[in-house]
Structure 1
Amino acid sequence: MAAQLIEQARLASGLTQQAMAEQAGTSRTTLSAYEHGRKSPNLETVERLMEVAGYELTLQHRIKFSKIKSPRGRSIFVPDRLWRLDVGKVFEPVVLPLSLNWSQPGREYEVRDRRQRARLYETVIREGMPHDMLTYIDGALLVDSWSELVLPRNVRAHWQSIIETAA
């Protein structure tokens, strides 16, 4: 995993192996060995390499989902807490996959528009799997839109405590 993080950070920052190695005070061959998994850097070394690339390591809570059966036998997924999307992705237009938006295939949701965002969130909460929710729903915007969402009573009831905790 460290190998992938180091290479991903280096490439995203536009650094060559040589430039990153020089700035981090290591050799290019050692950096190459880290990136290819031939050597395992310690945590301090990974942090130093991330810093050179303009990144930092952070600890982030893993979201856990409970699977609840609705009265009609459908599965509903409820998180243990809310999350935030990357700022750059929060307001990007969204076209949901057919598995989520089977009634309006190809529809593009303008997430900047409050009403369209509410319809998007309703669809993802009712039809989505955990990975869909983590991809399309931003926790702060969900809390802001919560009173406007049209959801089945049991779905709303299961999500309500999460919303109240975050609000």
Structure 2
Amino acid sequence: MMTKLNWRKFPDEAPENDASDMEPSLCLVCVGSSIDYDWYDEYAEFDEMLNDHVGKWSEHDNDEITHWIYVDDIPLPEDEELMTLNWRKFPDEVPEKDDNFKPRLCLAGDIFSVYHDWYDEHAEFDEVLGDYVGKWSEHIVNTDVTHWIYVDDIPLPEEA
């Protein structure tokens, strides 16, 4: 059973900064017919004509984004069954590079949180094993990850 995701139409609805620390929240965003990640800061700029703050995405122009969802709203796999979306068990399965041999953007999660990252299956050479080993590139260590999904496998909103 596929879980319906809570995609929100932008700019009709915009993400709010995290209430605990007022930092921008990580979101998945629709840019055309593809999905990327970005942070939206609702206090990014002060518009003197409006006499108010104006929000901005950090990596994309506001007019590029059609829909968004908080990464924290992506449902984690339930009970090892991996029925929600197309989550895969890590390290039983590891992300593969794309056709151009570049790591593909993934969401990786433990039982509590979801992070965005890239996995390179040939990241470094392990002299003890005598072979290359993979690792997540930025935000997480291999031992923290229990499941992952390609961002490309997350269904787009119906009206995108």
Greater helix share, structure number = 1
Normalised TM-score (structure 1): 0.26
Normalised TM-score (structure 2): 0.26
RCO higher in 1 or 2 (8 Å CA, sep ≥ 6)? 2
Greater strand share, structure number = 2
